[in-house]
Structure 1
Amino acid sequence: MNYNWNWGVLWQSTGVGSELYWHWLLKGFGWLLVVGGSAWVIALVVGFVLGVMRTLPSKLAQNIAATYVNIFRNAPLLIQLFIWFYVVPTLLPDGVRAWWFSLSFNTTAVMSASIGLGLFTAARITEQVRTGIESLPKGQANAGFALGFTTAQTYRYVLLPQAFRVILPPMSSELTNCFKNASVASLVGVAELISQTKTISEYTQNNFEVYTFTTVLYLVFNLALILGMTALEKKLRIKGQISGQGGAT
């Protein structure tokens, strides 16, 4: 195979001012953090609200949350991003639409990708929250009501703190998936990590090296997220409860 290996490719000049290729990769990683982080915040807020709604006595609340989950979880993520980027802006009120299209292309792409990915991930978190709450003994809720708590107080002080500990392990995987799925944002114009990697590989033709660097960057970042979530899980773990490490002492 006639291939010119060059592991120092990222330290070569791009030809644009004093920028090196690793600067482009770092910029792409920065946009990945923006899209993934924004989407994760949206997913947590919407997911927890809908997850609680799925366990309320109200059939209306259950049906609204279930409908959301069925739509957003079963429609392909890429289709949802395209809808948020190409379709939704045209349906906005005139004033909002004018403001939207006055923004830069990358800004609107980042906002659309963050909203689309956030709402997609929220559907998955909704089910995890529902499962976590339903896994608790029914006596927990009854005890809250017996103490005179309202429904909101029972969820706030009794159910959600315990359910949160239950769903932390699957949420670790969901967190890494959220940032990995952020790579799809490149298809609506976000200059994130994958987009920059493709550009660098096309400019340099050192495909193997460039994609290897990007893969290592993803691995290191996702492992750091997992370690952080694992540390949080251990910190919040109640000994003898939901730990799987023996009974209480």
Structure 2
Amino acid sequence: MTDTVDKAPAPPEQIKAIPVRHYGRWVAGAVVLALVALIGVAFSNAKINYSVIPDYVFDPDIVSGAWTTLYISVLAMVLGVVLGVILAVMRLSSNPVTSTVAWFYIWFFRGTPVLVQLLLWYNISLVFPILNLGFYKNEMNQVMTPVLTALLGLGLNEAAYMSEIVRAGIQSVDEGQTEASHALGMTQAQTLRRVILPQAMRVIVPPTGNEFINMLKTSALAYSVQLPELIKKATDISSTSLAVVEMYFVACIWYLILTTVFSIGQYYIERRYARGSSRNLPPTPLQRFRKNLRIFGSFRRPEVAR
């Protein structure tokens, strides 16, 4: 009797993975590239003198208008944030009078266009011809300058939106934080300033940054009240140089510069306030760039014989 040796089982046949062909992606990419090419051809054949655009980017009047845009945007945003915090606290108050007034303010300023509000402030002298504060008296036309008109129109409108942002941030903090603060003897104001608002900043900062970037663009509406901001300066130059569309391109360049700079700042501010909620934050573009440089340097560094 011969011993039979069991044969080892044959290895399974290797699976050949065939990648799925995404024809739709290629078609969509081709369509997008065709549209971009058509738009590029249309602008290249347009009756626009692109060569004059670089000559006006750093024109003193344009730079002055950009500075006015930044100046009025910052002031209006500060006013909106301060008043928005006050309105949010009033809205959350158990006092029915303050909460109703805050609700009505938010309802009115969110429900009417910014341009209409600017024009109302610009013509407020029809309602109050004389401004009399007791210690100061003057004609309203002299008081309501274009800068003050833009500040009130943009800032008070922004306060309505900021109040909702702040209210959402305050409500995101657990109520136990407030109870613990009161147990330690803190007043309502101290609790809000030292406990609630610092924790609510993680929720408040991202939409606030978006609101400021939007404010930079919304400030162009101040052109209607004769504020010498970027659009007003560009329009004044175009009326003498007859380069209308070219000056609008110049204004777009400056708006892109301003929004890009503040978008970068917003990114790093958001990372700072997100540290407490997420330990594994993704690397910043600068950190990724440095990492790639180190990797590239390690490939190029010659090996040292030991």
- Output the TM-score relative to the length of structure 1: 0.84
The RMSD of aligned alpha carbons is 2.5
Identical pairs, percent? 31
SS of the residue aligned with 1:54?
Answer: helix
Q: Aligned letter for 1:214?
A: A
User: Map of 1:14-163 to 2, 5 A cutoff?
Assistant: 22-88=59-125, 90-91=127-128, 92-94=130-132, 98=138, 100-102=140-142, 108-163=145-200
Q: Distance in 2 between matches of 1:70 and 1:137?
A: 27
Q: Distance in 2 between matches of 1:222 and 1:9?
A: 20
Partner residue, 1:17: none
Q: CA 1:152 to 1:4, structure 2 compared with 1: closer, same or farther past 3 Å?
A: closer
Q: Aligned letter for 1:135?
A: S
1:175 aligns with 2:175: no
Partner residue, 2:239: 202
Q: Distance in 2 between matches of 1:2 and 1:192?
A: 28
SS of the residue aligned with 2:51?
Answer: coil
> When you count helix as a share of all residues, which structure comes out higher?
1
SS of the residue aligned with 1:190?
Answer: coil
Partner residue, 1:11: 55
SS of the residue aligned with 1:46?
Answer: helix
Cα offset, 1:26, TM superposition: 1.1
Q: Distance in 2 between matches of 1:4 and 1:166?
A: 45
Q: Distance in 2 between matches of 1:157 and 1:186?
A: 41
Cα offset, 1:38, TM superposition: 1.5
Q: Distance in 2 between matches of 1:147 and 1:10?
A: 62
Q: CA 1:244 to 1:113, structure 2 compared with 1: closer, same or farther past 3 Å?
A: farther
Q: Aligned letter for 2:157?
A: F
CA deviation vs aligned residue, 1:190-226 (integer Å, no higher than 9, x gap): 1110111122223223333322221121011011111
Q: CA 1:35 to 1:198, structure 2 compared with 1: closer, same or farther past 3 Å?
A: same
Q: Aligned letter for 1:98?
A: N
Q: Aligned letter for 1:218?
A: Y
Question: For the pair shown, which has the larger CA radius of gyration, 1 or 2?
Answer: 2
Partner residue, 2:300: none
Q: CA 1:53 to 1:5, structure 2 compared with 1: closer, same or farther past 3 Å?
A: same
Q: Distance in 2 between matches of 1:229 and 1:64?
A: 32
Cα offset, 1:123, TM superposition: 0.3
Structure 1: gaps (5+ residues): 13-19
SS of the residue aligned with 1:72?
Answer: helix
Q: CA 1:46 to 1:11, structure 2 compared with 1: closer, same or farther past 3 Å?
A: same
Q: Distance in 2 between matches of 1:216 and 1:128?
A: 30
- Output the TM-score relative to the length of structure 2: 0.69
Relative contact order: is structure 1 or structure 2 higher (C-alpha 8 Å, sep ≥ 6)? 1
CA deviation vs aligned residue, 1:166-191 (integer Å, no higher than 9, x gap): 11111111011112111100001111
Q: Distance in 1 between matches of 2:199 and 2:58?
A: 47
Partner residue, 1:15: none
Q: Distance in 1 between matches of 2:48 and 2:162?
A: 46
Q: Contact 1:43/1:125 (CA < 8 Å) preserved in 2?
A: yes
Q: CA 1:145 to 1:71, structure 2 compared with 1: closer, same or farther past 3 Å?
A: same
Q: Distance in 1 between matches of 2:85 and 2:74?
A: 17
Cα offset, 1:22, TM superposition: 1.2
Q: 1:184 aligns with which of 221, 224, 239?
A: 221
Cα offset, 1:244, TM superposition: 8.9
Aligned length: 234
Q: Distance in 1 between matches of 2:194 and 2:148?
A: 34
Q: Distance in 2 between matches of 1:173 and 1:210?
A: 26
Structure 2: gaps (5+ residues): 1-44, 282-306
Partner residue, 2:33: none
Q: Distance in 2 between matches of 1:175 and 1:4?
A: 32
